[in-house]
Every structure is written in C-alpha cells, then in structure tokens.
Amino acid sequence: MPNDSERLTNCETGRVARISLTTAYSLMCVFGTILNLVVIYLVVSFKKLRTASNAFIVNGCVADLLVCAFWMPHEAVSISTGNSLVFGYHAFKESLLLIGITVSLLSHSLVAVNRYVLITKTPATYQSLYQKRHTEWMIVGSWLISLGCLLPWLTSFRYPTDGCRDAQDATVAFSKGVSVLSNPFAACALALTISGQTVVVLYCYFKIFRRVQTSVKRVSILNFQIVNNLPYSFPRKDKRLGFYVLAVCFIFLLTTGPIFWTLTTGLFIPVSVALWTSSWIIFCTIFVSNPFLYTWKNEEFRKSFRSVMRGDFWRGSTVGVEPITINTISHIFPRQNSRRAFLGEMN
C-alpha cells in the first residue's frame, strides 16, 4: 500500500501533466483555429484562389477545425477540471474527432494526387479529371469514408462505470475505453488510414520531384505554377525546390509516424500513458501546421493576405488578386501538347 509521500508525488505529477496538456491544447486551439479560418476566408473571398487544388486544402482546413476549434477546447477544460462530459455529448465529441482526423489525412492525399496529376500529366488530363463535379465528389467521398470508419467505434462505445478517472488518466483520455483511439476498431482504422496516406503522399511527391529535376521549366510544387525564364546558373533555386517538396513529406512523416507506431503497438501490447501522450501531441501539431504548410510559399495566397491586411478588400479597391507574372500550367501549354512538350528535357 503506498504511503503518503508516494500519494503526494503522484498527485503532483498528475497536476503538472494536466497543466502541461491544458496549455498545449489551448495554444494549438488558438493558432490552429486562426490559421485554418484565415485560409478558408481567403479562398472564399478571392476568385483566383477558387481552384480544385485549393478546394482540397480548404477541405482539410474544415476538418482541422473540428479538432482545433471544437475538440481541443473541450478536452482542455475536461483535463483542467478533471470532470467528465455527459455520456452522449462525450461520444459526439469523440466522433467529430475521428471524422476530423480522417478527413484531414484524406485531404493530404487529395492535395498530393492533385499536384501529381497537375505536374506530371497533360493539361487536358488534369482538366478532365478535376472538373467541378468530380472535385466535389472527391471531397464528399472523404467525408463518407470518415463516417464509415466511425461506425465500428459507435457500435462498440462503452463509457467507464467504475467512477471518476484518476489524475493521470484524466490527462490523456486514452484509458478505460473513454477515447475513440482506445477502441481497437477505431485505432486499427486510423493506423490503416495513416499508412495509406503516407504511401500516397510519398509516391506522389517523389514522382513530382524526379520529374521536375529533368524538366526544362522549373515547377514550383507548392505554388502549382511553372516558373518562366528561371536563371539556371543559380543552383540554389533547384535546391530550394527540392527542399520544399521534401519538407512536405518530412513534416507529414514526423507528425504521423509516432502515433502510427503507437496505435499499431497498442493493438497487441499495452502502451504507457507517457508514450500515448507524447505521440498524440506530436500528431495534433499537424492540424495546426497544415494551413501554413500548403499556403506560405503560394504567391496568390500571400498577395490575398497582404490585400486583406492593407484593407484593400474592405475598401472595395481590390476585386481579386492582382495579376502576377507567373503563368499557370494550363496557360503555358495548350491542351493538345504532349507530355514531352509539357515537361521537355533540359538543353
């Protein structure tokens, strides 16, 4: 039987863990909500940003808001107070969490495939595949798949009946079947989703990287644009391009890798609370970094954001984004051009 000093130590440890997690969730909630809302607002407000590529980014931002703007505040309050939510509302909160996670991950794949088709295929192929109706069905499909992943957890959801959770368990909600991720069906579905999206993202971006390395015109992967008259005497430009492509893959792997292995391991053997917590917090950062990751190098987004900051949009002096000197792929190459003309060999 533990003595008083051991109880005091455990109490202090639980209090520090609650404060740390509450602070982390609060910060991620604020920054994630602001960044995702800004991206959504810019795409909705500026016509030149209403593209198929940005539609998938907005789809991911909406899913990220379910985690950052809805789930994180409730979890922060629950952890700080140590009180559990009502049975039905807790199930609703955890359901939105799983939907948000799945749709966000699927959006990564949609963006990656979109960029792969845009850069490695002919403009005619891209325009045929990403018609407005097709794009809408792709987005709807991501939400339907997420709902399908949710059903096994809803049918097996059980709320703990052995009283309140102790301080340490209250900090993570990964124990006693309270969290959606503690359910083997949901954990297995999420692990499979992460592995599938990782394969798609890595395949698409590395294919893009290889194609760009042998292209006459250097393609800005994050801008969805071809850069004309790039001075080839500056090798740093090519190095930066490769860095941008690999950065997307690296950040995705860095944020999803720990939770994937934790979920997979947890299906067979018990996993410590500390491992669950650390891998989950790392995974949550992806919902905050997604908007910045996909837009910070995009000149259209930057011009739109500066326009809003200057107040041009509100004064009515800016109807859209001012034209830029970089043309899109579909404007540079006619629809009938072959792939060789589209990505010709370097002279």
Q: Are 87 and 161 in contact (CB under 8 A)?
A: no
Largest CA distance in the chain: 80
Q: Bigger pLDDT: 325 or 310?
A: 310
Q: Bigger pLDDT: 323 or 110?
A: 110
Global pTM value: 0.77
Q: Bigger pLDDT: 234 or 132?
A: 132
Q: Give the C-alpha separation, 53 to 59, whole Å.
A: 10
pLDDT (0 to 100) of residue 2: 45
User: Average of pLDDT values for 6-31?
Assistant: 74
Q: Bigger pLDDT: 8 or 194?
A: 194
Q: Among 205, 4, 244, 219, which Cα is nearest to 108's?
A: 205
Q: Give the C-alpha separation, 152 to 163, whole Å.
A: 25
How would residue 144 be classed by pLDDT, with cut points 50, 70 and 90?
very high
pLDDT (0 to 100) of residue 258: 94
Q: Give the C-alpha separation, 164 to 84, whole Å.
A: 8
Residue 192: Cβ within 10 Å count:
14
12 has a pLDDT exceeding 60:
no
Q: Bigger pLDDT: 287 or 7?
A: 287
314 has a pLDDT exceeding 60:
no
Tokens of 138: 């792709």
User: Average of pLDDT values for 238-257?
Assistant: 76
CA atoms in the 13 A half-sphere facing the CB of 115:
31
286 Cβ contact list (under 8 Å, min separation 6)? 104, 251, 252, 255, 256
253 has a pLDDT exceeding 60:
yes
Q: Give the C-alpha separation, 152 to 194, whole Å.
A: 18
37 has a pLDDT exceeding 90:
yes
148-162, 243-257, 288-302: least confidently modelled range:
148-162
> Domains in the chain and their CATH numbers?
12-342 (1.20.1070.10)
Q: Bigger pLDDT: 12 or 270?
A: 270
Q: Bigger pLDDT: 238 or 126?
A: 126
In sequence order, what DSSP letters do the residues of 218-247 get, joined into one string?
PEETTTTEEPTT--TT-HHHHHHHHHHHHH
**What average pLDDT is seen over the chain?**
75
pLDDT (0 to 100) of residue 159: 52
How would residue 44 be classed by pLDDT, with cut points 50, 70 and 90?
very high
323 has a pLDDT exceeding 60:
no
333 has a pLDDT exceeding 50:
no
pLDDT (0 to 100) of residue 329: 37
Find the length of the chain. 347
pLDDT (0 to 100) of residue 27: 95
Residue 270: strand, helix, or coil: coil
